[in-house]
Each structure stands twice: as C-alpha cells, then as structure tokens.
Structure 1
C-alpha cells in the first residue's frame, strides 16, 4: 500500500516545507487539488507542485485532480511534460471533470461552458499521452507535436460509478474519493470488466480518504461529516468512509482498503496541525510496509 498526503492548498506559506516533511516522513506522494475559484482560497496546482518537486528528490507529486477541461489541452500537455522533466518523472497525473460541489463560477471566469466539462475532458484524454510524449496529435483539426516531450505519467482518472467507462478507456488507475472498502471492491470488479471490453488491463485504484490521525473532538468529526455530504454522500456513507484513530488503528483501517484492491491512499487530513498529521502518517506508512 502506497501512502500519500494532500498538502494545504489554501496558502503558499508552508507548501514546500510540508512537501519536504512528507518526503522525510517516508510518504510516497504529495497531492494538491485544482480549482480556479472556490469559497476558500486555492493556490495554482501546477506552480505549487513544481515548487514541491524542485524542493524534494524522491517523493512523487500528484494532482488530485487536475481539471483539464478548464484549460487548452496543449498547454496542459506542455506543463505536464515540463514538470515531468523537472521532477525526474515523479508526476502522478490525476484528472477529473470538476464536480458540482464548487459550482460553475470558475468555469464562467475561464470562459469554458460548465455543461461541456465531460465532453471536453474525454477529448483531452484522447490526445494527452501523445502530446506529453512529443508525438503528433490533432486538436480542433490542427495537427502538431510539442517539444520537448517527456515520459507520460500514470493517468489516474477520477469518475463516479456512472462514468467508469472513461476510466476503463483511458486510465492507468481510477481515482474515487471518500469511499468505503466494500464499495470500492464492488466497483473495481465492474471497472475490470469494462477495461477488458476495451482490450485493456484492469486499472489500479488510488483513493482519496478523509482522515485524521489521533484524537478527534466530536464537533470536529461531525463538521467533517456534514462537509462530505456536500459531495453527495449520505451521513451514513460519510461516517463509514472517514478514517480516524491512532496510527495503529488507522493502519488497520487502510489495510482493509488494500484488501479491496486499492494500491494507493491519498490522505486528506481534516484536523490538527498539518505538519503533525504528516509525521503521524509517516508512522502509519511504516506500519503498512
């Protein structure tokens, strides 16, 4: 089981420091979300991960997830190829459509129709591997190649259960969020069947987990449960998916995800000091080895 952590994407102050701390703690990867406009501040994901990659030597840098439809696909490919080169091929390319939870203001600000996000994401996934690796591709009727090319990073496609065909068609891995092991095991079987229809191997699974290591006051846990219901979960589903406890208890909970076919956890701490949470996750990672 590979274990990574989301860094605080609301401020630039500690981003690089925490990336170094995660590397020192033995975590596999650091992650950041990608939003243009939300209710709370969000730094730019590409620039932030570039800074994290430049400040570290081993740890992987992950998009959780990059909303490719907000940008021209050629620019996305150029940035990913550059980040691959700068990081020594440490990019984990999570890609998603952007959900309803954050609304359409960012899309309107970017001049991109919110209703077309699925269609635009699929179109981007068709050409991204060729564009990143420097091969000719056709976009909007124009054929071109980008240089310098780079090794294509693992493509980790976020999608709900009704959109698994996109993962099966394009993804090296699936990137669900806030999900319990039993549900993931069931959906993983369906995903493997869909991938076989496309003549592709079953994608791996990386899952985003809402997590807190250590003591969690009841009001803090209840507030987190309420926030997760904004992503379409029932309260019961949210309580089942949230992981809390001491390092040994958290490791036991995460081992259940491994048994369900999950190969990587991208932990999103929701309580306590982020630096402290990273250090505690390092203990969890040690127990999972």
Structure 2
C-alpha cells in the first residue's frame, strides 16, 4: 500500500519545493494539496467539523502552481489535488492547466475533485449551490473533450466547446469503459460523503473515491462497488483512497485488508520543523 501525504500549503508553512524533496528522499508515494480560492469573512456557512475555521483555509496556495513547483524538483512522487473545486473554474482554462501539469510531470498527476462546503465561496464564482454537482460533472466532460486525441466538440447543460486543437495532452492514457467513451486525462477521484448520488457520479465518470478520514468504509465500499458494477464498469473495481488520515498501525492494516492500494496521511499546516518531525513519525508506516 502506497503512503502519500496531504497538507494545507500556505504562505506561512513549509514550501512546496522543500516538502516535495523531503517526501521523495524519504520514500513517500505522493503529495496532495487542497484548494480554496478565498474565504468570505461573512462566514455564514459553518465549518463542517464544527468550531472556528482553521487559519490555513484562508491562506492556501494555488494547488496547481504549488504542484508545478513540486514536480520540477522531483522525479517519482505522485502529485494530486484533494480536492479541486471544479465548478468554480473556467473548464477550458482548467483543462489546459491540468494537461500542462500532467505533461510536465511525466504523467504523475491525480485530479481529485469535489463540490465544496462553503456556499459563499461558490456564490462568488457564480455557482448555484443546488446544481453544483451537475455543474462539476459537466465541467469534467468538457475538459475530457479537450484532452481527447482528436479535436472533439462538447455541448453540455452548462457549457460547450468547439472541436479544437488543444495541446499538450495529458500523458496518462484513456481508460476503457463498457458501452461509453473512454475516460481521458489524469486519474480522477471524487471526494465527498458516502451516498447513492456520489457513488453514481463516481461510477459514471471517475476512477474512484477519495473519502475524507476513511471512517465506515467496511459498510460503504460494498455499496460503491455495487454502483460500479451496475454502471458496467470494469472488473478491477473502483479505486478507494482514504484521505487526510491520522494514521495508526491498526487503521492502515484495516485499509490494506480492504484491498486499498493507497492512503493519504494528513500533515500539519505548519513550518518546516514541525512538518519534518511529523514525517519522521510517519516513517514507521513506509
């Protein structure tokens, strides 16, 4: 099982370059980073875990730029978002940024996508909260048209693009789907709480699920696999990557027994010294 990490990189933490080098030298498998473009100070939406919103939420670095720096100083570690708020982006611009990062990193990028929790942040991007999941689905479909080998047009509910020359292409090869066009572009994982709607979206247009914290997976993963089979997806099953995990030997053994190939451990949003101490503590799991 691969041991990756995630961190809220900010203007006050360890830098992407320093962290990426340390991860690769120590043998960790990857680096995932989250996204918030801004946090409106009105704070009408409560923080999901409860209590005050941690400082780092309003100070996050742009994830694709940070991962670009990480890619430039490493050769092996995987690079990913956990998650990209796809509905809040222009999909043509985002498709170009993702394809460029995957190209320059040699195919090391994982696109983790999600639908957000902060209503005010989404509203400032013009996102109608009630339709954000459908909008995100549409955004991904449009991006995949641009990533296709041949110029491909897309006409969706929320956006469209003409058949276009769009390079570079992502390095990662299309994944076949029975009775549907292949999935183009980087490996795509969808984050969010377990439920029929989320699992239907994963089975329709993603490679797997990125559950936060990884609790209750013994009960929920069979439901995801059932949705996967009903959608006619391949026998290999959906990838499940527990995310932002605070590890223990028993927890990681449980994930291994469930057949997971990767887990993403939470690092503190902190300065270099504290992050490196945490990596030292996590080394026992490598």
Give distance in 2, aligned partners of 1:141 and 1:265.
Answer: 36
Residue pairs, 1:216-255, within 5 angstroms: 243=247, 250-255=248-253
Give distance in 2, aligned partners of 1:127 and 1:54.
Answer: 28
1:190 pairs with 206, 212, 223, which one?
223
- C-alpha deviations, 1:95-144, integer Å up to 9, x for none? 1111x2xx223223323333331111111233333322444131434422
| TM-score (norm. length: structure 1) | 0.78
> Could you tell me whether the CA contact under 8 Å between 2:14 and 2:275 is conserved in 1?
no
Q: What is residue 257 of structure 1 aligned with on the other side?
A: 255
> Could you tell me whether the CA contact under 8 Å between 1:210 and 1:268 is conserved in 2?
yes
- C-alpha deviations, 1:198-242, integer Å up to 9, x for none? 11032110011332xxxxxxxxxxxxxxxxxxxxxxxxxxxxxxx
1:267 is aligned to 2:252: no
Q: What is residue 124 of structure 2 aligned with on the other side?
A: 109
Give distance in 2, aligned partners of 1:72 and 1:268.
Answer: 29
| TM-score (norm. length: structure 2) | 0.78
Give distance in 1, aligned partners of 2:104 and 2:65.
Answer: 12
Measured after TM superposition, the shift of residue 13 of structure 1 is 5.0
> Could you tell me whether the CA contact under 8 Å between 1:210 and 1:270 is conserved in 2?
no
Q: What is residue 44 of structure 2 aligned with on the other side?
A: none
> Could you tell me whether the CA contact under 8 Å between 2:142 and 2:160 is conserved in 1?
no
1:75 is aligned to 2:93: yes
> Could you tell me whether the CA contact under 8 Å between 1:210 and 1:269 is conserved in 2?
no
Q: Which runs of no fewer than 5 residues in structure 2 stay unpaired?
A: 40-56, 173-184
Specify which structure has the higher proportion of helix. 1
Q: What is residue 128 of structure 1 aligned with on the other side?
A: 143
1:200 is aligned to 2:246: no
Q: What is residue 227 of structure 1 aligned with on the other side?
A: none
Give distance in 1, aligned partners of 2:111 and 2:37.
Answer: 18
Q: What is residue 6 of structure 2 aligned with on the other side?
A: 6
Aligned residues: 243
- C-alpha deviations, 1:240-263, integer Å up to 9, x for none? xxx4xxxxxx23421111112322
> Could you tell me whether the CA contact under 8 Å between 1:22 and 1:282 is conserved in 2?
no
Give distance in 2, aligned partners of 1:97 and 1:114.
Answer: 9
2:211 pairs with 176, 196, 211, which one?
176
Measured after TM superposition, the shift of residue 72 of structure 1 is 1.4
Go from structure 1 to structure 2 and tell me whether the alpha carbon gap of 1:132 and 1:283 turns closer, same or farther (over 3 Å shift). farther
Residue pairs, 1:128-167, within 5 angstroms: 128-135=143-150, 136-139=152-155, 140-145=159-164, 146-150=166-170, 151=172, 152-162=185-195, 163-167=198-202
Classify the secondary structure of the residue corresponding to 1:207.
Answer: coil
Classify the secondary structure of the residue corresponding to 2:58.
Answer: coil
Classify the secondary structure of the residue corresponding to 2:266.
Answer: strand
Give distance in 2, aligned partners of 1:271 and 1:68.
Answer: 23
Classify the secondary structure of the residue corresponding to 2:243.
Answer: strand
> Could you tell me whether the CA contact under 8 Å between 2:5 and 2:265 is conserved in 1?
yes
RMSD, aligned CA: 2.0
Q: Which runs of no fewer than 5 residues in structure 1 stay unpaired?
A: 212-242, 244-249
